[in-house]
Amino acid sequence: MPDPVDPTPPTTTPTPVTSSGTHATSTGLPTNVAAALACIPLVGGIIFYVLEKTDSFVRFYAMQSIIFGGAWIIFDIVARIVQAVFSTIPAIGGLFVVLWGLIWAIVTIGFLIVFVITVIKAFTGVRWEIPYIGSVARDQVDGPTAV
C-alpha cells in the first residue's frame, strides 16, 4: 500500500516580491520604485538615504541624487552670480546676459536629461553611475574600492 501524501504544502517564509521581481526595501516600497524616487535631486536623495538602511541599490541612488542635486544647486547659484556681475558692464553686459542665458539653458537641459536617464535606469533595476558623481556615491555607500 502506498504512503499517504500530505495535501498541505510545507510552510516557508517567502521574501516579499513585487510584480517586477524586486524585493521590498525597509521603506516597504519595491527596490526599483524606491530607487527611482530617490533620484529626485537632493530632496528625494536625503529622504531615502535617511529612511533606507539595508538596500545598497536604493542607498546608492539616494547618495548619487544628493551629490547631483547639490551640484545642480551650486551651478545655479554660480550662474546667477556671474550673470549679476557681468550684466553691470556697460556696452557688453547685455550681450553677455544673452550668451550666459543660452549657456545656462543648455546646461540645465543637460541636467534634466541626466536626471531622466537616472530615473529610468533606477526604475529598470540597472545601477548606472553618473560620470564623476557615481564613483563618489559608490564610495560613500559601499566604502572605497581598492585599486
pLDDT tens digits along 81-136: 988 888 888 878 888 888 888 998 999 999 999 999 999 999 999 999 999 999 99
Closest C-alpha to 37, from 56, 54, 7, 58: 58
Per-residue pLDDT of 58-87, as tens digits, reads 999 999 999 999 999 999 999 899 888 888
What would the DSSP string read from start to end of 8-61?
A: SPPP--PPPB-TTS-BB-TTSSBHHHHHHHHTSTTHHHHHHHHH--S-HHHHHH
Locate the domains of the chain by residue range: 31-139
Distance in angstroms (rounded) separating the CA atoms of residues 32 and 53: 15
Angle formed by the axes of helices 56-86 and 93-123, nearest 10°: 170
User: What is the rounded distance in angstroms from the CA atom of residue 74 to the CA atom of residue 107?
Assistant: 13
* Claim: this prediction has a pTM higher than 0.95: no
